[in-house]
């Protein structure tokens, strides 16, 4: 019943910031998904008889690859697979399930916020036993294996029924189809004061949550509408669709524009939020008040003690390097450490495991805590709601008080998408060449105080990650950061992160574009973005 199939390596299976992401048509090549899954299994040791968690965000190809992964797990000797009903598991729910079931690891099928459908994106990510994305040493081993693989093992059988909750056998391996929502919703209920939030909603507080036709629909309906009593319809686009209704399931101001417009309207609800394809990102918009992800991290950290799960305080805060320094000021005030890591949630795992940090966040709309080892969109929304219920203030009031206490980090990210890869590489190379000469020079952004290519030494295992983004720092604390995205599937995306700090006594109410204009001009000049890319405008501003 176990077949060994000969195959040839594909030379494009290097995992990026978050697993292997490619166009569906690439994944549809014969043996493509199988090669990658076998390479994952071949890079791991000691999983015979152990549990594997399996699920995805429901996008196009999800069900097919679930079947392949089930049959390959059986042929490779796993003892049990826990699979979400219908093949569905949000990324944070998968992380929780790996931890709570004592699984060896998990396969999460998703391309996160990238669009889905026959002409769009698919992805496979392996998570380790702590519930978090595999660290670089594992993804490097997987990549090496993809380049030498010559066969894979697969169990020959009919497709498994993944739509009915219950247990079945695939050879010696058992397949347990589980409710993807219940355990996760219970975990949320254990961290937050659902009674207070329910009372706030019953008292007339209004919210809107946009699931963007992606995986959070069933989770959000259960938690916000059923357990917290928000009226039916609070969750918009609540049914997960294989192509996300032709939308881009990325909760930012461009792709969640409907929600944004609703939150800026005269009759806006008190609170609006959205999550992405696989449920790990979050967008927070108060009534007439957008909150940047970097500010959201700072506010959540400063007020986390309002929620029962964090009442004893935080051990530390971690943020990715391009994320603004707003959280640094909170950490300073709380007297706890602040860790600055490279982009990629996987870098937070060791800090969380070591008990060095409790809350983590990224500018890319990711926030989370040590409750799982992934970022968690619904978690961030619930922590906001818990804080609003405890403080009895609006989002706008909370932001104003926060800035008046800590100062404001004006912040924006400019993305230049679909640049030819060689041009993007040339831009970064030219920038790196200039770094040494920049300190002391003056440009429209001010006087450059230092310039470097960010390198990170993990404080738990001393592993070093280099070339994680070029930083140009100014002597008033402002900064411009340049890096290439590690999650795109076509060409290259240049990300330029622009930040200016204004103290509590400064001008806290400027429009962001105005506050950042001199730094934006400096970024153009220093990197010659227009010259290298031919683009005189970013394609997305968040």
Question: Which H or E run includes 388?
Answer: helix 377-391
Q: Min. distance of Cβ 414 from ligand G6P in angstroms?
A: 13
Q: Is 345 in the site for ligand G6P (CB under 6 A)?
A: yes
Q: Is 344 in the site for ligand G6P (CB under 6 A)?
A: yes
Q: Min. distance of Cβ 90 from Zn ion in angstroms?
A: 9
Question: Looking at 193, 225, 250, 276, which residue binds Zn ion (CB under 5 A)?
Answer: 276
85 binds, among Zn ion, ligand G6P, none (CB under 5 to 8 A by kind): none
Instruction: Supply 346's token pair.
Output: 């996987």
Q: Min. distance of Cβ 343 from ligand G6P in angstroms?
A: 5
CA distance 277 to 125: 14
Build a one-symbol-per-residue string for 485-504: x at contacts with ligand G6P by CB under 6 A, - elsewhere.
Answer: xxx-------x---------
Q: Min. distance of Cβ 448 from Zn ion in angstroms?
A: 34
Of 3, 74, 64, 69, nearest to 28 by C-alpha is 64
276 binds, among ligand G6P, Zn ion, none (CB under 5 to 8 A by kind): Zn ion
Q: Is 250 in the site for Zn ion (CB under 5 A)?
A: no
The residue (of 343 and 533) whose beta carbon lies closer to ligand G6P is 343
Q: Is 366 in the site for ligand G6P (CB under 6 A)?
A: yes
Q: Min. distance of Cβ 486 from ligand G6P in angstroms?
A: 3
Q: Is 323 in the site for ligand G6P (CB under 6 A)?
A: no
Q: Are strands 207-210 and 271-274 parallel, antiparallel or unpaired?
A: parallel
The residue (of 146 and 320) whose beta carbon lies closer to ligand G6P is 320
The residue (of 362 and 499) whose beta carbon lies closer to ligand G6P is 362
Build a one-symbol-per-residue string for 16-45: x at contacts with ligand G6P by CB under 6 A, - elsewhere.
Answer: -xx---------------------------
CB 535 within 8 Å of CB 419: yes
**3-class secondary structure, 422:** helix
Q: Min. distance of Cβ 342 from ligand G6P in angstroms?
A: 9
Total residues interacting with ligand G6P, rule: CB under 6 A: 14
CB neighbours of 366 closer than 8 A, spacing ≥ 6?
280, 281, 282, 293, 345, 360, 375
Is there a catalytic annotation at residue 112?
Answer: yes
CB neighbours of 325 closer than 8 A, spacing ≥ 6?
409, 477, 499, 501
Say which of 18, 112, 211, 478 is annotated catalytic: 112
Instruction: Supply 248's token pair.
Output: 């881009």
Q: Is 358 in the site for Zn ion (CB under 5 A)?
A: no
Question: Which H or E run includes 236?
Answer: strand 235-236
Phi and psi at 430, nearest 5°, equal -65, -40
**3-class secondary structure, 522:** helix
* Rounded (10°) CA dihedral 316, 319, 325, 331: -10
| DSSP state string for 94-110 | HHHHHHHHT-SEEEEE-
Q: Is 343 in the site for ligand G6P (CB under 6 A)?
A: yes
The residue (of 188 and 360) whose beta carbon lies closer to ligand G6P is 360
Build a one-symbol-per-residue string for 106-135: x at contacts with Zn ion by CB under 5 A, - elsewhere.
Answer: ------x-----------------------
- Cα distances (Å, whole numbers) of residue 116 to 156, 209, 308, 437: 29, 21, 37, 44
Stretch that binds ligand G6P, among 23-31, 191-199, 297-305, 360-368 (CB under 6 A): 360-368
Nearest residue to Zn ion, scored by beta-carbon proximity: 112
Instruction: Supply 170's token pair.
Output: 């695939």
Q: Terminus-to-terminus CA distance in the chain, angstroms?
A: 52
Of 370, 378, 200, nearest to 301 by C-alpha is 370
Phi and psi at 167, nearest 5°, equal -115, 135
489 binds, among Zn ion, ligand G6P, none (CB under 5 to 8 A by kind): none
Q: At what angle do helices 136-146 and 32-42 cross, to 10 degrees?
A: 130
CA distance 241 to 234: 18
Q: Min. distance of Cβ 259 from ligand G6P in angstroms?
A: 19
CB 221 within 8 Å of CB 229: no
Q: Min. distance of Cβ 73 from ligand G6P in angstroms?
A: 24
Q: Which residues are catalytic?
A: 112
Q: Interface with Zn ion by CB under 5 A: which residues?
A: 112, 276, 278, 280-281
Q: Interface with ligand G6P by CB under 6 A: which residues?
A: 17-18, 112, 320, 343-345, 362, 364, 366, 485-487, 495
């Amino acid at each position: 019943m176990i077949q060994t199939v000969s195959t040839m390596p594909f030379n494009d299976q290097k995992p990026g910031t978050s697993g292997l992401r490619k166009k569906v048509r690439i994944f549809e090549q014969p043996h493509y998904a199988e090669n990658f899954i076998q390479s994952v299994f071949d890079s791991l040791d000691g999983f015979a008889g152990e549990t594997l968690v399996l699920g995805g965000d429901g996008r196009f190809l999800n069900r097919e690859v679930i079947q392949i992964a089930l049959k390959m797990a059986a042929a490779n000797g796993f003892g049990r697979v826990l699979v979400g009903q219908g093949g569905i598991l949000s990324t944070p729910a998968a992380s929780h399930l790996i931890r709570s079931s004592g699984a060896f690891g998990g396969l999460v099928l998703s391309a996160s916020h990238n669009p889905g459908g026959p002409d769009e994106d698919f992805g496979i990510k392996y998570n380790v036993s702590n519930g978090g994305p595999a660290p670089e040493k594992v993804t490097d081993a997987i990549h090496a294996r993809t380049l030498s693989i010559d066969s894979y093992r697969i169990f020959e059988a009919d497709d498994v029924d993944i739509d009915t909750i219950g247990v079945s056998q695939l050879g010696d391996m058992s397949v347990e189809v589980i409710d993807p929502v219940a355990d996760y919703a219970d975990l949320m209920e254990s961290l937050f004061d659902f009674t207070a939030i329910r009372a706030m909603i019953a008292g007339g507080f209004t919210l809107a949550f946009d699931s963007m036709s992606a995986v959070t629909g069933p989770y959000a309906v259960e938690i916000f509408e059923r357990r917290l009593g928000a009226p039916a319809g609070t969750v918009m686009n609540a049914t997960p669709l294989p192509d996300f209704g032709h939308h881009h399931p990325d909760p930012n101001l461009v792709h969640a524009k409907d929600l944004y417009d609703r939150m800026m309207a005269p009759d806006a609800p008190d609170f609006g939020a959205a999550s992405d394809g696989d449920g790990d990102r979050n967008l927070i918009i108060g009534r007439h008040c957008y909150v940047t992800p970097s500010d959201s991290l700072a506010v959540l950290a400063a007020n986390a003690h309002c929620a029962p799960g964090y009442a004893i305080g935080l051990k530390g805060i971690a943020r990715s390097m391009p994320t603004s320094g707003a959280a640094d000021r909170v950490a300073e005030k709380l007297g706890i450490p602040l860790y600055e890591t490279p982009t990629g949630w996987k870098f937070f795992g060791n800090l969380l495991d070591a008990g060095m940090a409790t809350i983590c966040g990224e500018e890319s709309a990711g926030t989370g805590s040590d409750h799982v080892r992934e970022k968690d969109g619904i978690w961030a929304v619930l922590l906001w709601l818990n804080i609003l219920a405890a403080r009895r203030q609006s989002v706008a009031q909370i932001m104003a008080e926060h800035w008046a206490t800590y100062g404001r980090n004006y912040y924006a990210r400019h993305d230049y998408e679909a640049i030819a890869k060689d041009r993007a590489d040339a831009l970064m190379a030219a920038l790196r060449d200039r770094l040494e000469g920049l300190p002391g020079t003056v440009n429209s952004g001010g006087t450059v105080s230092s310039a470097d290519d960010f390198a990170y030494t993990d404080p738990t295992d001393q592993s070093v990650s280099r070339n994680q983004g070029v930083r140009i720092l100014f002597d008033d604390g402002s900064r411009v950061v340049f890096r290439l995205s590690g999650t795109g599937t076509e060409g290259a995306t240049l990300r330029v992160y622009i930040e200016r700090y204004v103290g509590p006594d400064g001008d806290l109410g400027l429009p962001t574009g105005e506050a950042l204009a001199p730094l934006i001009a400096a970024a153009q000049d220093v990197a010659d973005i227009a010259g290298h890319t031919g683009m005189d405008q970013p394609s997305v501003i968040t």
